[in-house]
Structure 1
C-alpha cells in the first residue's frame, strides 16, 4: 500500500470528517516558518480554505475537513505532499507540509479567521 493510500485510509477510518459544503470560508496568515531541524524564522504566508479546497500561492489542494467547534482539522494529499492544518476556536493555527521527495517537512505557526 502506498503512503498516500495508507494516509487516506487512516483519515477515512477516523470517521470525524465534515462535508466541505457545511464549512464557512477560512483565511489564515502564518508568521513563523520552521524548516526541518533548522531554527524557525519570521515569514508571511497566507492560505485560504473554501468549498473543500485549500489554496496557497503555489497550489490548490482538495481537503477533508474534520474536528469540532473547538478545533478544525484539514487534511490534503497530493502527488507531492501531505498537508495538515489545525486551528482552534481562538484562532491559533498550525500548518505543515510533508513533502515526499526528500523527505522534507515545513511547519508554520499563525492564525486563522472564519469569514
Structure 2
C-alpha cells in the first residue's frame, strides 16, 4: 500500500473540486436504510468538509481506478473510496468499535 503524508497529498493528486452524496447508510450488521448525506473534498485544505465538521485528510492511496482518502476527526477514523462515480464512505468509531458505511456517488475530479 502506497501511503502519502498530508503534505504530499496535494502533489500526488491534482487539486480539483469533488462533491459526494450518499443515499444509503448501513450501521454494523443492521439493514441498510435510505439517507441524505453529503461531503466535499478540499484537497488544497487537506480536509473533507461535512455538515458535522471538517475531517483532516491524513493520507491518500491511488491504485487505478480506485482512489482512497484516509481522514481523521473527533472520535473516529474515516475512509472515502471512489472508483469512477461510485463512492463508499465509512466511519470507524473509536467507541464500540462501530462502523457506519455510506453508499453513493462523487462528482468532479481529484
- The TM-score bracket by the shorter chain reads 0.7 to 0.9
Kept in 2, the 8 Å contact 1:61–1:78? The answer is yes
The CA distance in 2 between the partners of 1:78 and 1:45, in whole Å, is 17
What CA deviation, in whole Å up to 9, does each residue of 1:43-87 have, x standing for no partner?
A: 110000012210110010111222145221010123411100000
Moved segments of 4+, more than 6 Å: none
1:44 paired residue number: 36
The 5 Å alignment of 1:61-76 reads 61-63=55-57, 64-76=59-71
Is 1:28 matched up with 2:15? no
More strand by share: 2
Whose RCO is larger (CA < 8 A, sep 6+)? 2
Q: CA RMSD in A?
A: 1.7
Does the 8 A contact of 2:54 with 2:73 survive in 1?
A: no
TM-score, normalised relative to structure 2: 0.82
Q: Normalising by structure 1, report the TM-score.
A: 0.78
More helix by percentage: 1
Quote the offset at 1:36 in angstroms. Answer: 1.0
Q: Deviations over 1:8-63 (max 9, x none)?
A: xxxxxx33435236331210000000011110011110000012210110010111
Number of aligned positions between the proteins? 101
Unaligned runs of at least 5 residues, structure 1: 1-13
